[in-house]
Structure 1
Amino acid sequence: MPQIAVTSFGHSALRLERDGLSLVIDPGVLAPAAAFDDVAAFLITHDHPDHVNTALVASALAADPRSRVWAPRDVADGLAAAGTSADQIDVVTDSRAFEAAGMAVEVIAGVHAEVHDTLPSPVNLAYVIDGRMLHPGDAFPALPDGIDIEVLFLPVSGPWMRFADAVDYVAALRPRVIVPIHDGDLNDVGLTLTDQMSAILPGEGVYHRLRVGDPVEL
């Protein structure tokens, strides 16, 4: 299967590109303007501002009527309120498969990992790309039978998780490549510590921190 060029835009925002088409996952308020340029399809995991910048996604969709977005209902409602055409919005309410930007996408529908029992947990959609790359959003979902993840975009920081949870998830999935994400809340010291802690991740997977803005074929 042809490789995909992956570009990190920081935190959980990623661009996946193949054959001249770009798919962007979770471009939130921490993502630079470049994350919203020339995008054929957006995938949004859940309705938190660090995962979706509603105004800029709506603007990008308006600029290219051929582009589309797949998202949970609450995100879709926000985009519609921002003026996005209904023809460009695909509301995802359950686990299913589709094609976006020429890539096969499988959705694992679930809920956001609990931050605290006093706070609501919104819908969280994990996305499997081409049957081998997983962006889990803000959760560590179990995978359906038959999916063997090669590239795991692994959350490593946030109020909803411990690094131990990331270690356990790698132990369960045993990916070939581990790309840390969800680390926009860390300063340079925190990033260095997290990268050092990657030494305890189990299995033979290669830990590969992406430089923001530099595409890498995976």
Structure 2
Amino acid sequence: MKIRHLVHSCLLVEVAGRRLLIDPGAFSAEAVRALGEELLAGIDAVLVTHQHPDHLERGLLAEVLALAPDAQVLAEPETAALLEEPADGHAPVPAERLHAFAAGQSHELPALDGIAAVRIDAVGGQHAVIHPDIPRVGNSGLVISAGTEPRLGITGDSLEPLAEFHGIDVLAFAVVAPWSKMAETIDFLREVKPVLALPVHDAIASDVGRPIFLRQSTHLAPEGTEVRDWPADGTIEIAGS
């Protein structure tokens, strides 16, 4: 499995011969476009955890779908409903390419050339509380698995210690957010105890402030959990079992 961090919460995951683009939001537009048309043309699915613009920028999504004619969109149900309608000059996502992906549902990309099928499970269901006066939106966390490849969890905007994340091989977690405090992040990691934890949702932190959150998450992580920062090229490869 290869995971590339494309700024903030956007990830490109390559697993079992498939390419998955996750949460292509406004902060990530430049990095996604820099992948190039040839790579983007091979995207098999775009996964969207929730509707907030730092996780979904409709213009960027339209660009990706135009380059990747076979890509399907799996989006949290409230988000899918928004994508069914035109907005801000953007056309709806065609119905045949759009799937409302609610917690408890699964989607499978069939095996290619004898390689394992890729299974995607939606988990959780609600965004973390930002403030009681701000209505909560839906949030579909993700678990991605394929044969003997590592299992990858993606929290979206939530620190709910879901059973599906407990002991998972790799977990992309929100290292800093307006809706969380450092103690909650550390307690979340201590409860779910992933083998490898990768920090995302970090574009809102300054270059000098981000290391504070990463340092505490690393030093106070539970035994058996490695919190690993992204290398200079933003790409991490993890061997299967």
Taking structure 1 as the reference length, the TM-score comes to 0.90
Could you tell me which residue of structure 2 aligns to residue 6 of structure 1?
A: 3
Could you tell me which residue of structure 2 aligns to residue 73 of structure 1?
A: 77
> What is the rounded CA distance, in whole Å, between the counterparts of 2:121 and 2:44 in structure 1?
17
Specify whether residues 153 and 74 from structure 1 end up closer, same or farther in structure 2 by C-alpha distance, changes over 3 A only. same
Could you tell me which residue of structure 1 aligns to residue 22 of structure 2?
A: 25
Could you tell me which residue of structure 1 aligns to residue 108 of structure 2?
A: 99
* Per-residue Cα deviation, 1:74-105 (whole angstroms, up to 9, x for no partner): 32233332232111000123411112485211
Taking structure 2 as the reference length, the TM-score comes to 0.82
> What is the rounded CA distance, in whole Å, between the counterparts of 2:175 and 2:162 in structure 1?
19
Could you tell me which residue of structure 1 aligns to residue 61 of structure 2?
A: 57
CA contact (8 A) 1:10 1:184 kept: yes
- For 1:127, the aligned partner's letter is L
Are 1:139 and 2:158 matched, yes or no? yes
Report the CA distance between 1:217 and its aligned residue: 0.8
Could you tell me which residue of structure 2 aligns to residue 209 of structure 1?
A: 229
Unaligned runs of 5+ in 1: none
> What is the rounded CA distance, in whole Å, between the counterparts of 2:15 and 2:77 in structure 1?
28
* Pairs aligned (count): 215
Specify whether residues 146 and 110 from structure 1 end up closer, same or farther in structure 2 by C-alpha distance, changes over 3 A only. closer
Report the CA distance between 1:145 and its aligned residue: 6.4
Q: Which stretch of structure 1 is more off in the superposition, 117-126 or 18-27?
A: 18-27
Q: Secondary structure at the match of 1:153?
A: strand
Q: Which stretch of structure 1 is more off in the superposition, 25-34 or 98-107?
A: 98-107
* Per-residue Cα deviation, 1:135-168 (whole angstroms, up to 9, x for no partner): 0101123334696411111111111111111111
Are 1:42 and 2:62 matched, yes or no? no
Report the CA distance between 1:213 and its aligned residue: 4.5
- Across the aligned residues of Structure 1 and Structure 2, the Cα RMSD in angstroms comes to 2.1
Q: 4+ runs of 1 displaced by more than 3 Å?
A: 144-148, 211-214
Q: Secondary structure at the match of 2:215?
A: helix
Percent of aligned pairs sharing the same letter: 28
- For 1:189, the aligned partner's letter is V
Unaligned runs of 5+ in 2: 34-39, 111-116
- For 2:130, the aligned partner's letter is V
Q: Secondary structure at the match of 2:209?
A: helix
CA contact (8 A) 2:83 2:92 kept: yes
